[in-house]
Amino acid sequence: MNKSTLTAISDVWNLMSDYVNPEDRSQLADNLIIILMEHDYDLEDIRHEFDGDSDIMEAVKFYSEDTTDDYETDEEYDELNFDDQDDYSE
């Protein structure tokens, strides 16, 4: 993706994050990372551009962790029986 656009997004984040309630910054940073990833921005580029912002770095760290599952194949996952789960609907 376009680095100058990511730079502009970073600049806007830096300007507005001071006005966001500190309790809400983490969730907002998480949402921003999701949006950037949905628009094909690479986590390494995001990390580089937002370096120094702890809320953004925590969100990047979360999404950069290995998210692969423990199943070798989709068939192994499909063989799991989820029918034993409690039904919470009434």
Q: What is the pLDDT of residue 71?
A: 47
Average per-residue pLDDT for the chain: 82
Per-residue pLDDT reduced to its tens digit, 43-84: 999 999 999 899 999 999 999 885 545 545 556 556 655 555
Q: Give the Cα-Cα-Cα angle 61, 20, 17 (nearest 5 degrees).
A: 55
Separation between Cα atoms, residue 5 and residue 36, nearest integer Å: 11
Residue 86 has pLDDT above 80, yes or no: no
Residue 25 has pLDDT above 90, yes or no: yes
Nearest to 61 by CA among 71, 72, 51: 51
Q: What is the pLDDT of residue 77?
A: 52
